[in-house]
Structure 1
Amino acid sequence: MIYVLLIIIGLFGIIVNKGKLKQLLSLNILALGVVVFFVNKGSHLGTAPPLKGFSNPVDPLPTVLMLTTIVVDVAVTGLALALVMGGRKE
């Protein structure tokens, strides 16, 4: 249920904060909550590790997709930070 808390904190931060940097960080918290939600839902598909010889293995595809999502999110956040900062040195 931690993902619900992360999504609520992210939405609250986006709505309440006026600064672009704080909104960007709140958006990252919201995205992290969504990733944790999908990893949580993907882990309920099985009970065993995704290795040969185990019955009822967990599907590794949702976790791999969320790992890719995290990598893309980091790249987009870096670009957004560069745009928000506007070349300022702080």
Structure 2
Amino acid sequence: MLSGFSGVWAAAATVAELHDDKQVLDNGFLPEVPAADGSAFRVVAPPYHFDEQPTTPRRAAPALGEHTEEILCEAGLDAQRITELKERGALG
């Protein structure tokens, strides 16, 4: 990626080194978020910040299909149609 860059550059740290770096952790760049099973894991914090708004994700991303029924209901499908789609294997 930087092969055409005429300045001096080098990797500052490996991913493993960043994962345990005190400054990275103290600055909140790798916050812990709760997983569905009650454990916690680290994620990369967003590179932006809006005044008075938290930057740390409050929960993990939804599981595959976690909100499918809710979204289909909002799209106008009724319970019977959603059941039909499930039975046909169209929904996970």
Does TM, normalized by the shorter one, top 0.5? no
User: Which TM bucket (shorter chain)?
Assistant: under 0.3
TM-score (norm 2): 0.26
Q: Which one has the bigger helix percentage?
A: 1
The TM-score normalised by the length of structure 1 is 0.26
Higher RCO (C-alpha under 8 Å, 6+ residues apart): 1
More strand by share: 2
